[in-house]
Amino acid sequence: MATKHDKPKVGEAPARQDAPPGVTALALEPGPLSAENEAYFAKCREKLGFVPNVLQAYAHDDAKLTAFAAFYNELMLAPSGLSKLEREMIAVAVSSVNRCYYCLTAHGAAVRQLSGDPVLGELMAMNYRAAELSVRHRAMLDFAVKLSETPHLIEEGDREALRKAGFAERDIWDIGAVASFYAMSNRMASAVDMRPNADYHGQARSLP
């Protein structure tokens, strides 16, 4: 049986060294978690039926897990002028730009669930411009994608387009914050070959 120290043969792909299995390509052992994070994982199991692998990936460092989860929860779940669906749509559009397998799978499932429209979830992942979007949503995603692809080209005209689409100043901040968070998360997921939970693949696939 091969061990994590064995080198692959020429032409053979290296074995994945995951801890826990199937989460990332790094051999990082889960560390001790705080009582708060143990409770957080228990809540995930109760509500979702599993702990998202992105949280498992951070479990080697309790402080980093705490920081990541707090930032995620504040951006994606706290009160905002953006709905939860809109924030998930931004996550998927940005992740599509960055070709992030983990985030496209996990947040694509969230778009399907929150919208009740599996087709929209697929369009978000493939090409949001092919979807029949409201003026508000098209402006929101155009801004998020431009911020992801060419951030140095963002100018006042881009913010003004959001205002004309009905977004308040705080909403513009939140669009930028969510898009920026996924720029970081996509790169981190790609850096360690983070793999999504298999559960996401089958969620909310049926047409109403």
CATH number at residue 64: 1.20.5.810
pLDDT of 21: 58
Structure tokens at 166: 């009905």
Nearest to 166, CA basis, from 141, 124, 143, 135: 135
Q: What tokens were used for 28? A: 């990082």
For residues 54-73, give the mean pLDDT.
Answer: 97
Share of the chain above pLDDT 70, in %: 89
Q: Find, among 52, 34, 45, the residue nearest to 106 by Cα.
A: 52
Q: Residue 19 — pLDDT band, cuts 50, 70, 90?
A: very low
Same domain membership, residue 163 and residue 64 = no
Q: Do 122 and 148 have their domain in common?
A: yes
Position 62 pLDDT exceeds 70: yes
Please indicate, yes or no, if residue 121 is contained in any of the structural domains. Answer: yes
Does any domain span residue 110?
yes
Q: Ramachandran region of residue 177, left (φ > 0), alpha (ψ -120 to 50) or beta?
A: alpha
Q: Using an 8 Å Cβ cutoff, are 33 and 41 in contact?
A: yes
Q: What's the whole-number average pLDDT of the chain? A: 90
pLDDT for residue 118 is more than 60: yes
Q: Is the pLDDT of residue 30 over 60?
A: yes
In a domain, 165, yes or no: yes
**Statement: residue 207 has pLDDT above 90:** no
Residue 192 and residue 107 share a domain: yes
Token readout for 47 is: 């509500």
Q: Do 150 and 91 fall into the same domain? A: yes
181 residue type, one letter: F
Q: What is the pTM of this model?
A: 0.87
Residues 94, 170 share a domain = yes
Same domain, 196 and 108: yes
Residue-level pLDDT at 176: 98
Number of structural domains the chain divides into? 2
49 is in which domain, residue-wise?
A: 35-76
**What's the pLDDT score for residue 205?**
81
CATH of the domain at 187: 1.20.1290.10
pLDDT at 16 over 50: no
Whether cis (ω within 30° of 0) applies to the bond prior to 151 is no
- 144 and 194 assigned to the same domain: yes
Q: CA nearest 184: which of 75, 82, 108, 111?
A: 75
pLDDT at 51 exceeding the cut of 50? yes
Q: Which of 50, 76, 102 is the last residue of a domain?
A: 76
pLDDT grade, residue 22 (50/70/90)?
confident
Q: Which two tokens stand for residue 78?
A: 């706290």
| pLDDT at residue 119 greater than cutoff 50 | yes
The rounded percent of the chain whose pLDDT value lies above 90 is: 81
